[in-house]
Amino acid sequence: MSERRDGHVILGINVLTLGYLPAAWQTDLLGIHSPTDADYWRRIGALAERGTLDAIFLADGAALGNPSYDANNSRFDPTVTWSHVARATSRVGLIATASTTFNDPFELAERLLSFDTVSGGRAAWNLVTSRDTPTANNFGLDDVLARGDRYQRGSEFADVVIALWESARTGTAIRHHGRFFDIEGRLHVPPSPQGRPVIFQAGGSPEGRALAGRVADGVFAAELTKEGAIEHYREVKQHALAAGRSADAVKILPGLLLTLGSTEEEARRRSDELHDLGPASYSAQWLSQSIGYDVSALELDEPFPAELLEAPVDHATFRGSIGFRQSIFERIRQTRPTVREYLRETRYTGSGHGGFVGTPEQLVDRIEDWFHSGAIDGFNLQPDRLIDGLEVIADELVPLLRARGLFRHDYETDTLRGHLAASSRTPALAASPA
């Protein structure tokens, strides 16, 4: 472990409605209407705030799709859900995903700033670009923009939204005439209680990392190894420095899929039980989508072919997350499992995001190691089943982190931007090689 850092870790929760595993709904702890039940969402917000967590994060997608065996089919618009949760909480940050590909910057800037105002300065936008054909079909298009065009639109979109938020503060109209948008005017929403809403970014491609360094306050990253996380951490921080910002201006929070138990054996048993309740094909289907290759065509008891692992990604045809693909292939290269072994291993070590199965004490060890190694500023935790997994995080994990000086004992600020500023301090970075 490297030298200890100042500050404390940032902790968020990725609220995938009921949990990240498809069988999360199969429990007596939930009712049939829990995903759309106001009491369920109030409970999630209250649990997060009981643990003094920094933020809760809600993903979104604009594809109609088809019904599937999934714990997260029922969805509200994140800003609607979080506006409701904001009434039942007072400190926890509320992060909502919205795409730059199929939204209008003026409307989104107004909606997010309105949400920020009514929540008392606790709103954040998770900036994503839509990459899948079904989403494009939902908007009457045959396909999405090419990756380069999506990120150019996303970058310009972010600039317009930030300028509009500034217009609410100054009362001065913006005049923007770019490749994708022509906007003249200003927002008439009250200015943000936290300066402007926080921006997170969730893309792992080179374009996404550069955009994060330029405009984001945080990155929802995908990391399977500490070495890869350290490299990504330094890359985004260097992009921030190149953009004239401080390295500490952008916080790196990889996702971490969790199954916790009082013993490691209990945690593995819980993980196995939840996986076994889901479809047997789930892992193979997810992996195929994530790497852009049909895993069912591979020999289960042979290693992954070198030509697959070394093949460059085709940016014109690959529709998955480049960050997920990179982290998966990096893990496979390190451990060299057979296909069958890797599919079994993902029960315990994660998919595109890292995974953890064990005790809260063991998880604290991992968080401490990665934090002081300069791999993270915190984690965006994803419980296997949210309703009881979040309780363990709030009531068992957080006190252990506090005991090691890794987490605060109470909220120190009232806004999400304040939470981030009061947290971790980025270690000094060496200059990038010429």
> What is Dmax (Cα atoms) for the chain?
65
Binding residue ranges: 60, 97, 151, 205
Q: Which two tokens stand for residue 302?
A: 């042979």
Phi, psi (degrees; rounded to nearest 5) at 258: -120, 140
Torsion of CA 248, 254, 258, 260, to 10 degrees: -30
Binding residue ranges for FMN: 60, 97, 151, 205
Bridge partner residues of 182 (DSSP): 177
Residues 31 and 375 sit within 8 Å (Cβ to Cβ): no
Residues 88 and 118 sit within 8 Å (Cβ to Cβ): no
Crossing angle for the helix pair 339-349 and 264-277, to the nearest 10 degrees: 120
Residues 424 and 251 sit within 8 Å (Cβ to Cβ): yes
Secondary structure of the chain as H, E, C letters: CCCCCCCCCEEEEECCCCCCCHHHHCCCCCCCCHHHCHHHHHHHHHHHHHCCCCEEEECCCCCCCCCCCCCCCCCCCHHHHHHHHHHHCCCCEEEEEEECCCCCHHHHHHHHHHHHHHCCCCEEEEEECCCCHHHHHHCCCCCCCCHHHHHHHHHHHHHHHHHHHHHHHHCCCEEEECCCCEEEECCCCCCCCCCCCEEEECCCCHHHHHHHHHHCCEEEECCCCHHHHHHHHHHHHHHHHHCCCCHHHCEEEEEEEEEECCCHHHHHHHHHHHHHHCCCCHHHHHHHHHHCCCHHHCCCCCECCHHHHHCCCCCCCCCCCHHHHHHHHHHHHHHCCEHHHHHHHHHHHECCCEEEEECHHHHHHHHHHHHHCCCCCEEEEEECCHHHHHHHHHHHHHHHHHHCCCCCCCCCCCCHHHHHHCCCCCCCCCCCCC
Give the span between the Cα atoms of 365 and 360, in whole angstroms: 9
